[in-house]
Structure 1
Amino acid sequence: MANYFLTIDNGGTNTKAAVFDEHGVQLAVSAFPTKNRERQAGFHEINLTDLWADLGTAIHDVLQKAQLTGDQISGISTVGHGKGLYVLDQHQQIFMDGILSADSRAEQDAIGFEEHVDQIFGLSHQHVMPSQAPVILHWLKQHEPENYQRIGAVLSNKDFIRFLLTGSILQEIGDASGNNFVNLETETYDSRLFEFFGIPEMVDKMPPLVRATDLCGHVSESAAQVTGLQVGTPVFGGMFDIDACAIATGVLDSSKFSLIAGTWNMNIFPNDQMASEDSGLMNSIFPTGKKLIEASSPTSAGNLAIMIKMLMTAETRDAQANGKSIYDDLEVFLENTDAQFAKLIYFPFLYGSNSDPDASGAFIGVRSSTTKSEMLRAVYEGVAFAHRYHVQSLLKVLGHQPDVIRMSGGGTNSPSWVQMFANILNMPVELVESNELGGLGGAITSAVGVGQYSDLESAVQQMSRVKARYEPQADQVALYDRKYAVYLSLLTALDHNWSGLKALQEDSATAQLVH
């Protein structure tokens, strides 16, 4: 009898339920927007009761699309955005919204902790980011103590969804290690990390650690009623979404880099050795047992969606009237322009920066003759430049170029953009067949969990296939090298000079609230 695997992939922008067969063939997907609520600037939250209802609808829908019933699903894995915070009270009940990875309320706390990161880097081998759970917990302790005191269990996104399915409260170690909770040498929680973040009482709120392919429970009766799944279906540990995308694209060692152009700008590779503190990079535990080296920031494809809303309102309306998407028209535009077209630079810092925490999005070089088309092309280029900035940090650690970059995320929906990435990075870029790579990574996990394959490497060999390869184009590489040098010089010149602008923006926002 054939095996079919369901993955629930909860990203910061969209949430998906996807079904795959044992060969990695994607049978169906059902998606809905992740309902981000911003009650204050920098707060990014989600109502968890609504999320569960939406997930139930999506699972019913994907089963119908795949022409399967719940009893035909052999295994389930959850994949989710990393960082952020999802908590239950002492009675295992939801009592506050989940906090998404885009949340920046604790930015100043993170800056303060990072100034002393040398005290813990030898333990967690992590730098400090505003959206890491310990930083948010510290913020809650200071600003919302009534919520902080009610916490009975601390979870990551996908661990919370697994709890909804099974009632089991567990924490997958890859997520925990990427969240400054785990000593990477002992691969256990370390009380010194909790003391560093000023939350020592949270050590006792941490669930037992599990691995990606571990059996973590079975679909409960209450979950079966919501989802249409069969009671008793096995549910496995699952993965942080960047791990899932790396696994799905066959990035299992340092011969390949995984690049994710989605809500976040993610650039990673598994390695036997960890990156040093002065590299500025993050380390975590990869599902194969290697260490994952990560360079990331919220500077990727999310910028494009916002800039299209700002600049292309009429064009978007016209495309819809003609039964098309604005992205169809932009793809034609990209195909017919090149690196010489846009004569300005865009910094993709609408949600944060990969250089200065006070930086914001910016066009530099706008003239009276500048067109909207040039600005849009500059956005595409600026996102790829931000990825190059991170990739160069990875190259310093590895010491040489990888054989290839395997790319995933929403950016891969544009072949012209993928070619631009190959040109800007001056490395070949490959795409794999599935367009739901978080989902495929989860299915690979389930396939190992049920015993279909003996390990992740064997499952990847059978379930992941390359569909396209983009080679760098020499003339475009030369032009982009020159343009990137300008991007980098402007970025360096502005470093540590953004604070005045940020203060001005915050003062203006406060004044508007008063009036």
Structure 2
Amino acid sequence: MAVLCVDAGTTVVKAVLFDEEGRELRVARQATQVRRGAPGFSEQDMDGVWDAVVHTVRAVVDARLEPVRMLAFTGQGDGCWLVGPDGRPTGPAILWNDGRACDIIDRWEAGGVLDAAFKINGNYGFAGTSGAILAWLRAHDRARLDASHQALYCGGWLFLRLTGEYAAEESDAASPFLDIRTRAYAPEILDLLGMPWAERLLPGVRGDGDRIGQLRPLAATELRLPAGLPVVMAPFDIPATALGIGAVTPGQACTILGTTLSTATPVTVVDTSGPPAGMTLPSGVPGGYLRSLATMAGIEAVGWGMKLIGLDKPDGISDLAHTADAGADGLFFLPYLSPAGERAPFRDTRARGSLSGLTFEHTRAHIARAMLEGMSYVVRECLEFSGVRATELRITGGGANSEFWCRLLADVTGVPTMRSADSELGAKGAYIAALVASGAEPSARAAAERHVRPRDVFEPDEKRSALYDELYADFLAVRDGTRDQWERLAVSRARPRPADETGSRRSSA
């Protein structure tokens, strides 16, 4: 019998049918739209996400070769997916990469609130967390907040549509309100944030031993599946992807080259004594955690760069970068392109990207190489910041389709990189979570050893790694020198513009 798994990512929803050996029988994908209706805003139609789930599930179910015995799912994390007492959305989902609450986060940081909360939950706040978004809504859209019954996450929204139950998977709930050690909501964090009023909006937390619901009749009809089918709520997409690629023990680091560059390392003990940054998440391995550092910009920066230099094929930037020498002839790219700034391994809402070192001698190839190198330096910085020595780096996400980038990451980090034979690792993680939750496998480690199959491994080149050690130090120096300018750039952006100038910019856009 087959296991049907869904991964509701930020820009694409995927449905995968796995056989008993964990092989992909059929995959369907449906793009979803992220709306940026105002500066800093990043929203999604909640019903549109559900419709994409229905579309992809039907596509694999209608062609299935064997009965489905379980449905498991994962989805994007953070953000705020508000519903009313009737379970209907009270507005669009406000996503993890939304920047409207930057001022609130800056205020919490200046007051030491974020540092204090990190000691309890191991998660350093940023504008796209549910706490910051709820605080913004209380100040700017009180009517919507008052009309809302539960502040869900993407996974909670899908669980509600599938089972009729309100819940937050513990990896979702981890930021910002959870005590990461007890895995229960911490009233002291609500007090720190000045948000005791938000307690009524928090759904019950579910995790290890409590992941399974039943498919309700209405959803069963929409999905063309039998009512009562077990529904497994897996961790959100970052820890689910780590499960799916087999990063389940310390040393097995994982990087998602996706909408975010998310670098994560399994740990067995929570440590909040170091500099606060990133996330500490329940990993889906019973009793285990994931130290995760996820940037605000990932391969969306690659797409932006491709448009900038006139490329239209997905592998174009790698092909072009390959023609330039390591180091891009002294050109450095800071990949901080998100309007919300950066959140890991440092947090600065003012962070902005740049190309440094340009001369007339640089070509499109140098720019392409500098972009991929800059993003690889960020991965290395996140690996080092985690404090856990990586013995291997397992790579997934859209960027992992580039063999050149995988080799580059091995050289830049000095760690062997591995790609999986599976195409959808978030869905594969949901599959492994379902096997463990249902008792079909005794542990996540056993499930990973049986069902995760390497596609290829890239060993670092000794000479190139030595060069990249020096170039990485240069990258950090360039970045540190640029950080002093971010406040000036923020002031410049905020200056009023004459009406005719603003009008001409909009008309030419």
Q: Which interval holds the TM-score relative to the shorter structure? A: over 0.9
Matches within 5 A, 1:152-231: 152-177=149-174, 179-211=175-207, 214-231=210-227
SS at match of 1:421: helix
- The answer as to whether partners of 2:333 and 2:370 remain within 8 angstroms in 1 is yes
RMSD of aligned C-alpha atoms? 2.0
Counterparts of 1:128-147 in structure 2, within 5 Å, are 128-147=125-144
Structure 2 length normalisation: TM-score?
0.92
- Within 5 A, what are the aligned runs for 1:47-446? 47-67=45-65, 72-115=67-110, 116=112, 117-177=114-174, 179-211=175-207, 214-281=210-277, 282-288=279-285, 289-312=287-310, 315-316=311-312, 326-351=313-338, 352-353=341-342, 354=344, 355=346, 356-394=348-386, 397-398=387-388, 401-446=389-434
Q: CA deviation at 1:104?
A: 1.0
Residues 417, 458 of structure 2: 8 Å contact kept: yes
How far apart are residue 192 of structure 1 and its match? 1.8
- Cα distance in 2 between the residues matched to 1:405 and 1:509: 47
Q: How far apart are the structure 1 equivalents of 2:316 and 2:99?
A: 34
Which residue in the other structure is 2:448 paired with? 460
Cα separation, partners in 2 of 1:202 and 1:86, compared to 1, 3 Å: same
Provide the rounded CA distance (Å) in 2 between the counterparts of 1:508 and 1:234. Answer: 56
Cα separation, 2, equivalents of 1:126 and 1:341:
35
Work out whether residues 30 and 55 of structure 2, in 8 Å CA contact, stay in contact via their aligned partners in 1: no
Query: 2: CA distance between counterparts of 1:509 and 1:7?
Result: 50
> Which residue identity lines up with residue 364 of structure 2 in the other structure?
K
1:480 aligns with 2:472: no
- Partners in 1 of 2:459 and 2:367 — Cα distance? 26
C-alpha distance in structure 2 between counterparts of 1:184 and 1:328, whole Å: 40
Measured at CA, do residues 436 and 371 of structure 1 come closer, stay the same or move farther in structure 2, by a change above 3 Å?
same
Query: Is the Cα–Cα contact under 8 Å of residues 5 and 447 in structure 1 kept in the other structure?
Result: no
Report the residue type matching 1:164 in the other structure.
R
Check the 8 A contact 1:12/1:102 in 2, yes or no: no
Which digits, 9 at most, give the CA deviation of each residue in 1:115-163, with x for residues without a partner?
A: 3124323321221111110111001101110011112012111121121
Query: What is the match of residue 506 of structure 2?
Result: none
| 1:38 alignment counterpart | 36
CA contact (8 A) 1:168 1:216 kept: no
Count of aligned pairs between the two proteins: 494
3-state secondary structure, aligned to 1:235: strand
| SS state at 1:496 partner | helix
Write the distance in 1 (CA, Å) between the matches of 2:211 and 2:415.
39
Q: Following TM superposition, by how much is the alpha carbon of 1:364 offset from its aligned partner in structure 2, in angstroms?
A: 0.6
Is 1:23 paired with 2:21? yes
Shift of 1:49: 1.7
Distance 1:77 1:295, change over 3 A: same
Output one character per residue of 1:159-181: Cα deviation in whole Å (capped at 9) or x when no partner.
2112111111111112111x111
Identity among equivalent positions (%) equals: 24
> In structure 1, what is the Cα distance between the partners aligned to 2:107 and 2:305?
32
- Which of residues 427, 433, 458 in structure 2 aligns to 1:470? 458
Q: Is the 8 A contact 1:22 1:463 kept in 2?
A: no
Q: 1:213/1:473 Cα in 2 relative to 1: closer, same or farther (>3 Å)?
A: farther
Q: What is the CA-CA distance between 1:509 and the residue it aligns to?
A: 7.4
1:191 Cα shift?
A: 1.7
Counterpart code for 2:251: S
Cα separation, 2, equivalents of 1:200 and 1:125: 20
Could you tell me how far apart the structure 1 residues matched to 2:261 and 2:299 are?
8
Structure 2 unaligned residues grouped into runs of 5+: 504-509
| Structure-2 change in CA distance of 1:166 and 1:102 (3 Å) | same
Gap regions ≥5 residues in structure 1 = 317-325
Q: CA deviation at 1:426?
A: 0.9
Deviations 1:291-333, CA, capped at 9 Å, x for gaps = 2212221132221011112221xx42xxxxxxxxx13444443
